[in-house]
Chain A
């Protein structure tokens, strides 16, 4: 039935948008956490006598 195709399209696109946005947030979060770890390393190095 044609209607079901539309229904499927709407739900999948919505899910895709939500998924990709959530994914983009967590990806940026992870890359920030990596940067913070690097900063911690640099600080530890510079604090060692």
Chain B
């Protein structure tokens, strides 16, 4: 038990360091985009966050399947923690998206298939977490696993449906139309790595916390039994 915390601590340090480097790259290495101006730099947060938001739910999906197959508690913990962190990243996507869109296209929201699917994903995460809150403990893991699977399966179907819907209702804004130069690609790669490390360290920390919480709860229950019943 003394080894793991050291690994996590250095991992967190590397993450922090990397985030700093990425931030520096965003502001001092990447050039300012011609058409969009300085606001474009939000892109470096928005894109990796979106990727990891979806990746997190993919983890929830796989962990849910594994839980139903193996019934090992750890898979339920992983599914739950990944959903929580995914929701955090998804929130970042949905906030940075409109902030980026407003000065550039003069609208806060577009029913763009990707942004709308992300919105539905956000709601699915929220419902997943709420479901865990209201279901009794003996059914909680089963129910959330099933919902985790259904919710994720719903994502591609939703995306295609919205995309088809959008071709009927053309919106003013078409493609994101970004010209990416090489230094920009480097910067994006850096932020991807930084966010990847952030995602991983948050996930590992959260899983560790959850396991600790569950174990502590069990120990407390055992002790209370001992104290009351001898």
Contacts and interface: CB of A to CB of B under 8 A. Distances in A.
Are A and B physically bound partners?
A: yes
Interface of A: 1-4, 6-7, 9-11, 13-14, 17-18, 21-22, 25-26, 28-29, 32, 35-36, 39, 42-43, 46
Nearest to B205: A25
A41 to B, nearest CB: 11
B202 A22 contact: yes
Interface string B21-53: 000000000000000011101100100010000
Contact of B202 (A2, A9, A11, A25): A25
A35 B219 CA distance: 11
SS class, residues of chain B in contact with chain A? helix
A28 B202 contact: no
B210 to A, nearest CB: 9
Given A17-B92, A25-B209, 20 more contacts: A1-B37, A4-B38, A6-B42, A6-B100, A10-B42, A10-B45, A10-B95, A10-B99, A11-B42, A11-B45, A13-B92, A13-B95, A14-B92, A14-B96, A17-B95, A18-B92, A21-B202, A22-B202, A29-B208, A39-B219
A17 B205 CA distance: 16
A6 B99 CA distance: 6
A3 B103 contact: yes
B202 A10 contact: no
Given A7-B42, A21-B88, A21-B202, A35 B220 contact: yes
Contacts of A35: 216, 220
A9 B91 CA distance: 14
SS class, residues of chain A in contact with chain B? helix
B96 A36 contact: no
16 contacts: A1-B38, A4-B38, A6-B39, A6-B103, A10-B95, A10-B96, A10-B100, A17-B91, A17-B92, A21-B88, A26-B205, A28-B209, A29-B205, A32-B216, A36-B212, A39-B220
A13 B41 contact: no
Contact of B99 (A9, A21, A22, A46): A9
B209 A17 contact: no
A32 B39 contact: no
A20 to B, nearest CB: 9
A42 to B, nearest CB: 6
Contacts of A14: 45, 49, 92, 95-96
B71 interface: no
B111 to A, nearest CB: 21
Contacts of B206: 25
A33 to B, nearest CB: 8
8 nearest A-B pairs in the assembled complex, by CB-CB distance: A3-B39, A10-B42, A10-B99, A10-B96, A3-B37, A6-B103, A21-B88, A14-B45
